[in-house]
Amino acid sequence: MKRNSISARRVASRDERSASKELIAAARTARSRAYAPYSGFRVGAAILTRRGGVHVGCNIENASYGAAMCAERCAVAAMVASGDCDPIACAVVIAGTAPAAPCGICRQVLAEFAGDMKLILLAEDERGRVVARKAARLRELLPQPFRLGGFGH
């Protein structure tokens, strides 16, 4: 079976700056594939794992709104399906004037696999130029994720 060159690609360099650039490029490509006929809000996400894997996802809307899937959760699904499960960074790219942070459900799903990780949040204009960028940590956005077994586990 041929693997998707974006979703299973290894990061060529361990240099954090070049890894971030590759992660952003992968999220940007995923965003171009989003299915958003109802809102027009297209989102791309890319997750970098400790092993160097880059796994992408895009949002997929549905006429039954509750069945929609966020880009971040799609990227997590691609990561798990590839046999990887140790994310260290996630880039999220949208079109707009301000970056968008992952929703609460996506934060919880990311926290299932990482107690903390770097988040790179970008907003681009209609020409694909970055108009706003924000760096955050998952632990900042979700300081007390739900864990089976009680508080603090």
Question: Would residue 72 show up in a list of annotated catalytic residues for this protein?
Answer: yes
d(CA 82, CA 78): 6
- Structural element, H or E, at residue 56: strand 54-58
Contact partners, residue 83, CB within 8 Å, separation at least 6? none
- Out of 22, 61, 72, 124, the active site residue is 72
Burial 58-68 (b: 16+ CB within 10 A, else e): bbbbeeeeeee
Q: What is the set of active-site residues?
A: 72
